[in-house]
Structure 1
Amino acid sequence: MKKILYTLALAAALTSCVGSYNVEGSSSITALDGSKLYLKAIKNNQLKNLDSCEVVHGEFHFSGTLDSVRMASLYMDDESVMPIVLEKGDIVVKIEAGRQIVSGTPLNDSLYVFIEEHNRLSNQMNELSHKQSQMLLDGIDEAAINEQLSVEAAKIASDEDRLVTKFIEANFDNVLGPGVFMMITSQYRYPILTPQIEDLMSKATKVFKEDPYVKNYYKTAQENEQRMNGLEEAPTPPAPPASQQPSARLTTVPQK
């Protein structure tokens, strides 16, 4: 009987988790040596520390068991450096001055193909201000500059919108869909409905709609829409602190 109970207990323990993750990281930024890095994830609507380690001679390491695949973020102090999917396998993180990337497992590989393309478009958008300054120095008429750059900005914005929409649609039923939805919508001062969000929700699967963040965001955004349309009398929710709003890029170079 004891042997049977032990076997059942062992089976329960094995089936309660989907495996273990192992994160091997390296950084070419020498100023990060000695810094403390944290793995953090949303749990019960709160950001929780999952693990921490110190950068030693440009290397760092995290490992642990998983009860499910989850989206997390790598932090230095209170600064989010980059997203990471905690899934079974050996995960490789590289932090360089011009590039931050996670690879080695299927979802991380897919996520960072998307992120690199998104960052490329963000860089193109940021370059427009430098282009404007150079065109002014070249003596080009300001009205002509604004007209040209408006067209270029609209093209970049359209490409970014299409990139995000297609990626989320392709990943409705795994952690990448809700995870990227969270990254993109967290740039807003408070939950709002946009044509892109309405389009996504009209096509979304039940799994995506029932994700806690997606479900709460969409519900709150609908309520805010009603308030703005005068259908409900209630104050607009306050904006989160600026420090909680991410930059257009989805990865950042950590600053010590």
Structure 2
Amino acid sequence: MLRTFIFDDSKSQWKEEEHELLLHDMCVILDEEKELIYLWSGSKSNRKRYKKGYIQLNELISNFPELNIQVILAKKNFPVEIQKKLEIMLESAKEEGRNTLLFSRFLTIRVFFVSLLGVIILPIISLLNLSTSLFWPISNLNLEVTSATFKSWINTSKILLLVTIIILGINLIIGLIEIENQVIIFSIVGLIICLGLLFYLNFDIYLFLFQNGSTLTNFYILKSEMLFFISINFLPVLIFEIPNMYKLITFLNTYRKFIF
């Protein structure tokens, strides 16, 4: 019986994998009947990963105390059935998506997944925060709000946008490292939109034409003007949220087993 294990660089441990193998991977195939382990390293794997994997190999072997395992390193000594197993696993990854498996590191896959969730969730929270203004007290079709509440309201969305910009910057770096054009484009578009919205929100109290009766501590804002303001924020966010949601779905379909 042949069992295949791939080295998880981020966790420094071997995990069993029977279906897919990438060129950046380092794997071992255990032949339990012959008590042999064949160590394979892909063409895109690096020496650092090989060294870490080799060190952790003893830990994997210790899981089979009943076997007297010998390690085979040279690919030229791999029997036909081992080479065929490797070819099938490599081909399986290609069939699942020849151009979709663009990420080559466990770390960047997991960091990008978390940051992509942040890019999607934070702008939505910002829009929900801005929409709470519609529940402010109404007087003669005007929304009434204190200056302190207004400041807290606008600053919350600014902070959320600023954090989103930082995360988009991280995504852009990941896209450049992995040479993932879709990530690069989506990140740049998101950065442009979020920077524009942050600049817009920095107008602060000058965003609105306060109505009669407004003072330094209490503001009156037309509800129709607030609706227009929210729509100005909603539409640009929608432009980059839809592509990022699409990216999240396709990313999960492709890399789910590398994330969880």
TM-score computed with the length of structure 1 as normaliser: 0.30
Higher strand share: 1
Higher helix share: 2
